[in-house]
Chains A and B, each alone.
Chain A
Amino acid sequence: MSSTLTEILIGGISRGAMYALVALGYTMVYGVLGMINFAHGEIFMIGMFSCVYAIGIFSVAWGNQVLLNLTLGIAVAMIFSAAYGYANERIAYRRLRKAHVLAPLTSAIGISTFLQYFIFLTVSRDSVNFPRFYSDFLTNNHIHLGPVQVTYLQLMILGLTLVIMAGLFYLIHFTRIGIALRATAQDQLMASLVGIPVNRIIAFTFILGSALAAIAGVMFSMYNNVLVFDAGYRVGLKAFTAAILGGIGNVPGAVLGAMIIGLTEALTTLQFGSEWNDVTTFGMLMLVLLVRPRGILGERVADKV
């Protein structure tokens, strides 16, 4: 295998892993509520901004402790994003849960636009750099795989994706809260009749999905060196596509779909040029949906017992 092809494949897997982290959030909310959370991309974007601002504050407070500040920064990002995710559920979803399916969809698109321009007007109109002092040890250290190098950051992104996927799978299928999640997904009224706090379960789903989006946001901004208020749009679109490709509502499906999209984009760039990325990605989505209308792995969280 030529070194260019290997590099392309590694780049594609990292890109896919990034999509996967975002796609997990889409898929969880859909799995439980049967609704698509269009504001998820913006929660992702808020995650990256809060992490960088938190790191800034910490480094002023007690100096440049790389590992400590980065870890705390990610924690702050998760808390912020989770709060925004919860607010999103309260404002855009809870009241509309029994409304026509288009109503929450529209209100989520509204929240998404609102958050984008809220950040644009209050935080930064321009792209912001990720503080490279904090990401350099991850991006400049490599392990060698034959002729090519894999950075620590790429390994970290892939590792995080797999661990989180496994964790979510375990949570949904083998814990009490997972049973409650699946029950809520199947029938909210019945679930509430047997004593499951449906509102809290749904809020929990949003909070968990949003915290994951924050991790994705931090990884994205470290990997691409940039934070920008509209970054959530394209990544959100691709992640959403990944979730559908793998079978929306299905946790391993989201990761599989994201990997396929990441690799497709990378190989398209090699073969035809990156201007064809959207053509091949969405063309493949159409083909897969023609053959398997419910995605590659199919099913929602609820159907899989």
Chain B
Amino acid sequence: MRKLSLYLSLAIVLIVGAAMVGCQKSGDAGTAISPKASDTIKIGLAGAQTGSDGEIGLSMLNGSQVAIDEWNAKGGVLGKKIESIALDDEASGQKAVTVAQSLIDAGVVAVIGHFNSGCTIPASRLYNDAKIVEISPGSTNPQYTEQGFPDAFRICGRDDQQGAVIASFLRDVRKFDKIAILDDKTTYGEGLATVVKNAFEAKGGTVVMFQGIEKNDLDFRANISVIQGSGAQALVWGGMYNGGGPLCVQMRQAGLTIPFVSDDGCQDQAFVNMVGGNAENVFVSFGKDYNSTPAAQAFIQKYKDTYHRDVGSYSVYGYDAAQVLLTAIDKAQSTDADKVAAVLKGQPFDTIQGQIEFDSKGDLKVADYVIWTVKDNKLQELSPTP
């Protein structure tokens, strides 16, 4: 009897688990590898699908998948169908290197990803050695394109541009003298925090507190006490919304009402929902609002029809990255990395973001960071834009 109950509970666990896995596959960008491998052009989709950045990472990958589906409906590229291989790097740099190697072994001709800068940078070395084009839709750490890799691109701004916008907002618009900065100790968060610090100090301001906190540490009481004692006029959070949300709420509960300023990592409705009624005096830097432009509506509708959920902040970027990549492969009439890269750097592309051009490093020529704020429970561009 006892044994029976043990086996039963094991069986139930396995069945439920298997059912979950089954549901997952049909819903999201899967890893379907078809047997007729040589008849397809393989594109790697790399990024966080699980872990605390899983939601935002997956919405980016799904955006790319929508573009790939569109091309396949038109007959693919270079006369072949496009096959996407989506792999999960769990937002970990170590895992990202493994993912990069698996994609290279699977014979991908290009990679869209990764999401986190801490993944993109270590993985880019492998792609560079294997002569594979990489376009990151979301990694903003400057170091990625500063490595001198000819085939590495990003379709978003850089943290030195973003940090400058935050610093200028605090110093030039708000005229603050003293700010506190806290980051989540990731390549991305700490990198951005450092840029803001340097830019703010270059403008004659003082950074009265500059600290980092472990990514999953959700109790910020000690940091908040230090900020309260330091006389800072604003707090800058360098990191993702899963830390930024609780930090903002705990700050308000402790009676600290100074502006909470964060970065593109907090540009997500999930952040607004977390902060809820405490969303006053909250500012976030991000690219312009593309989700409400007419150009994006067709994509957003397709995304909703396919995945039955709303687009994330990075879905448009994922979609644009795939569109630009496939257009470049089509124009180059080749999957050779150097030829594709030459096309990418040689001409402007029409995307949802508008017309974009890459510079010789693989960065966008014009970054479009603006400050957003929370109004009526939604993130909106702060107007008039500074």
A→B interface (CB under 8 Å): 2-4, 7-8, 11-12, 14-15, 18, 87, 90-91, 94, 114, 117-118, 120-122, 125-127, 129, 132, 139-140, 151, 223-226, 228, 230-231, 233-234, 265-266, 269-270, 273-275, 277-278
Contacts and interface: CB of A to CB of B under 8 A. Distances in A.
B350 interface: no
A4 B229 contact: yes
Given A231-B218, A274-B212, A275-B212, A4 B24 contact: no
B242 A228 contact: yes
Nearest to A125: B55
Contact of B17 (A4, A118, A228): A118
A15 B221 contact: yes
Contacts of B51: 230
A197 B211 CA distance: 53
B216 A233 contact: yes
User: Which 9 residue pairs are nearest across A and B when measured between Cβ atoms?
Assistant: A4-B229, A11-B221, A275-B212, A269-B222, A273-B211, A7-B225, A274-B213, A224-B218, A266-B222
Interface string B25-67: 0000000000000000000000000111011001000000000
B213 A277 contact: yes
Contact of B228 (A7, A14, A18, A125): A7
17 contacts: A2-B229, A4-B226, A7-B221, A14-B221, A90-B9, A94-B6, A118-B20, A125-B50, A125-B54, A127-B242, A132-B276, A226-B245, A226-B249, A266-B222, A274-B223, A277-B214, A278-B214
Contacts of A228: 52, 216, 218, 242
Given A8-B222, A127-B270, A269-B223, A226 B246 contact: yes
A4 B246 contact: no
A121 B18 CA distance: 12
Given A265-B222, A269-B226, A225 B246 contact: yes
Contacts, number: 123
Contacts of A121: 20, 24
Interface of B: 5-6, 9-10, 13, 17, 20, 24, 50-52, 54-55, 58, 182, 185, 209-214, 216-219, 221-223, 225-226, 228-229, 241-242, 245-246, 249-250, 253, 270, 273-274, 276-277
Nearest to A117: B50
Given A14-B221, A127-B274, A275-B185, A230 B253 contact: no
A230 B216 contact: yes
Contacts of A278: 214
A91 B222 contact: no
Given A139-B253, A224-B218, A269-B226, A127 B6 contact: no
A11 B249 CA distance: 16
Contacts of B211: 269, 273-275
A12 B54 contact: no
Given A90-B9, A231-B218, A278-B214, A270 B277 contact: no
